[in-house]
Amino acid sequence: MFEEKMTNCPQCRKPILKKGVFSSPVQFDMRCPWCQTNLKVTIEAKIVTQIISTPAEEKIAQLGNNFTNI
């Protein structure tokens, strides 16, 4: 049986899947149509939506407070 699914972007909180219909569990990457955040969406019994960091964002996070002004 098909079940309608809906979820919101964890960054901007606007809907990204509205009345999505999936027949089995699935996982995919997408960009939020509102704020352009990279997302990983997992459809199971419940939907799990996570923000995907880009390599540049990960490097900035690693540098943290060690980043000095030039």
- Return the closest-CA partner of residue 30 out of 45, 46, 10: 10
- How many structural domains does the chain have? 1
Query: Tell me: the pLDDT tens digits for 14-43?
Result: 988 877 777 788 888 999 999 998 988 888
64 contact partners, CB below 8 Å, separation of at least 6: none
**Which of 3, 45, 40 has its CA nearest to residue 20?**
3
Q: Does the reported pTM lie above 0.75?
A: no
Domain of 23, in residue numbers: 3-66
- Cα dist. 23→19, 29, 40, 48, 59 in Å? 13, 18, 19, 16, 38
- How far apart CA 29 and CA 36 sit, in angstroms, is 12
